[in-house]
């Protein structure tokens, strides 16, 4: 074979079995540059999907490991745009409700069979079935504590989701929820009349105290969980008495205030400022942190309602002639801010952010420290009102209506 023939039959690298394919000789006919772009695009999508998966895993871990407040905030954020229904007017069965109140800017409705949260526009944010016989309800900072005195459990709900259960040895006498998501519960003890426990935001017990002779009627748990105020009831020699007890959970001997009131039945306590307003059947008592107390008598009137926020406490009393009602408002230091007599029936007492609202037969009365207002007429058949700013939610026997308050009859109050 000549030299020329050898050159003609020379084996080129592309002819080898494992040789890389030249750009012009790809069997699929796709140019190499387009193939690289396609592979790069696939890698970008894969990385994006992995990022989403990592975010979902992180979110799930946060929900599982966070305390009740963290879970509540996370679930509310995830469900922020979920809404159901057509808004107001909203169909309800008023006689079936155990509780109707504001939950921050939203509306809370609780019956024996379910718990609903409505948005300010009436859209349903959540609806949870309940299995309680007669649920007691305590809203606090956008969360709701629910319990029944026949079931050995308390439950915590957020605006959009169930949050946690705390299983107990005995059904609760009473319970309290603070802004942090901590829970205080009083039950019957094994060898004591009453056992009090506090659970942290992960539902683990952190404090316990026993009471030998009395039962807890109500309690108020401080925002930091350090202080727990108790209203205890007892009987002795055919008489009744109440004990007002402040527990400091950080001390070895936790009882820092212990006040006994003979022949007085205290069944409700409100934390207002640095003190506690304790509601009895003949008087209300302001107990201060230094252990001093002041009594405010009802002057023979019957108690109808009571309410409080962080600045004010109010009682609504039946007038002596049974023809009207008396409203008394107290500041957190015990000074009386208002006493007003109404000729007709008044109800639905509510205090929010220093504003007091009271429903009359045809209007809503609004009081602040500086001004007094009256709303325009309410819809016929209104059973209860909830007020937020210029919005009035009127609950009738069959529906909730949203109306504009149109506050009028403004009166300047003495400062």
Backbone CA torsion sign across 399, 402, 406, 409: positive
- CATH number (domain holding residue 377): 2.120.10.30
Residue 316 within any structural domain of the chain: yes
The per-residue b/e assignment along 242-278, b for 16 or more CB within 10 angstroms, e otherwise, is: bbbbbbebeeeebeebebebeebebebbbbbbebbbb
Residue 128 within any structural domain of the chain: no
User: Is the peptide bond between 253 and the residue preceding it cis, with omega within 30 degrees of 0?
Assistant: no
The enclosing H or E element of 260 equals: strand 255-262
pLDDT value, residue 132: 86
Residue 318 within any structural domain of the chain: yes
Compute CA 78 distance to the chain's CA centroid, rounded to the nearest angstrom: 18
Residue 223 within any structural domain of the chain: no
Residues 6+ apart with CB under 8 A from 412: 370, 371
pLDDT value, residue 44: 65
Residue 120 within any structural domain of the chain: no
pLDDT value, residue 402: 96
What DSSP letter does each residue of 31-44 carry, written as one string?
A: -HHHHHHHHHHHHH
Residue 368 within any structural domain of the chain: yes
Closest CA relative to residue 396, chosen from 378, 379, 383, 377: 383
Q: How many domains does the chain have?
A: 1
pLDDT value, residue 55: 56
pLDDT value, residue 319: 83
Expressed as residue numbers, the domain containing 337 is 299-415
pLDDT value, residue 74: 58
Beta strand 227-236 pairing with 239-248: antiparallel
Residue 74 within any structural domain of the chain: no
- Provide block-wise average pLDDT over 10 residues at a time, the chain (415 residues): 48 48 46 59 65 59 55 56 77 95 96 94 93 92 95 95 95 96 95 96 96 96 95 92 97 96 95 96 96 96 95 93 90 96 92 94 93 91 95 96 86 58
pLDDT value, residue 70: 58
């Amino acid at each position: 074979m000549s030299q020329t023939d050898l050159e003609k039959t020379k084996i080129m690298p592309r002819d080898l079995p494992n040789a890389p394919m030249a750009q012009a000789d790809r069997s699929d006919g796709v140019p190499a540059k387009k193939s690289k772009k396609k592979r790069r695009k696939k890698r970008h999508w894969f990385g994006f999907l992995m990022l989403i998966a990592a975010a979902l895993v992180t979110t799930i871990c946060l929900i599982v490991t966070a305390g009740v407040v963290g879970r509540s905030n996370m679930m509310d954020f995830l469900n922020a745009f979920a809404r159901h229904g057509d808004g107001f007017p909203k169909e309800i069965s008023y006689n079936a409700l155990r509780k109707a109140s504001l939950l921050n800017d939203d509306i809370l409705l609780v019956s024996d069979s379910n718990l609903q949260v409505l948005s300010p526009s009436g859209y349903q944010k959540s609806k949870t079935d309940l299995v309680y016989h007669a649920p007691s309800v305590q809203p606090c900072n956008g969360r709701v504590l629910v319990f029944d005195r026949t079931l050995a459990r308390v439950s915590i709900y957020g605006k959009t989701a169930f949050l946690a259960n705390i299983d107990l040895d005995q059904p609760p006498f009473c319970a309290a929820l603070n802004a942090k998501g901590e829970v205080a519960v009083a039950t019957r003890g094994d060898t004591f009349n009453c056992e009090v426990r506090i659970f942290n935001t992960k539902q683990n017990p952190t404090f316990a105290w026993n009471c030998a002779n009395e039962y807890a009627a109500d309690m108020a748990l401080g925002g930091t969980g350090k202080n727990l105020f108790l209203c205890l009831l007892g009987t002795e020699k055919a008489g009744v008495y109440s004990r007002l007890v402040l527990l400091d959970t950080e001390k070895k001997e936790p009882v820092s205030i212990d006040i006994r009131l003979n022949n007085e039945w205290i069944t409700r306590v409100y934390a207002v400022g640095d003190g506690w307003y304790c509601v009895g059947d003949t008087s209300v008592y302001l107990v201060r942190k230094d252990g001093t107390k002041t009594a405010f008598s009802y002057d023979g009137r019957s108690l109808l309602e009571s309410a409080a926020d962080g600045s004010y406490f109010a009682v609504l009393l039946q007038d002596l002639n049974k023809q009207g009602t008396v409203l008394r408002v107290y500041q957190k230091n015990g000074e009386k801010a208002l006493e007003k007599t109404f000729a007709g029936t008044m109800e639905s007492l509510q205090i929010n952010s220093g504003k007091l609202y009271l429903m009359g037969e045809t209007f809503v009365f609004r009081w602040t420290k500086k001004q007094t207002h009256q709303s325009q007429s309410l819809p016929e058949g209104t059973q209860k009102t909830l007020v937020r700013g210029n919005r009035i939610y009127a609950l009738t026997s069959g529906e909730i209506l949203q109306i504009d308050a149109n506050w009028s009859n403004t009166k300047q109050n003495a400062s």
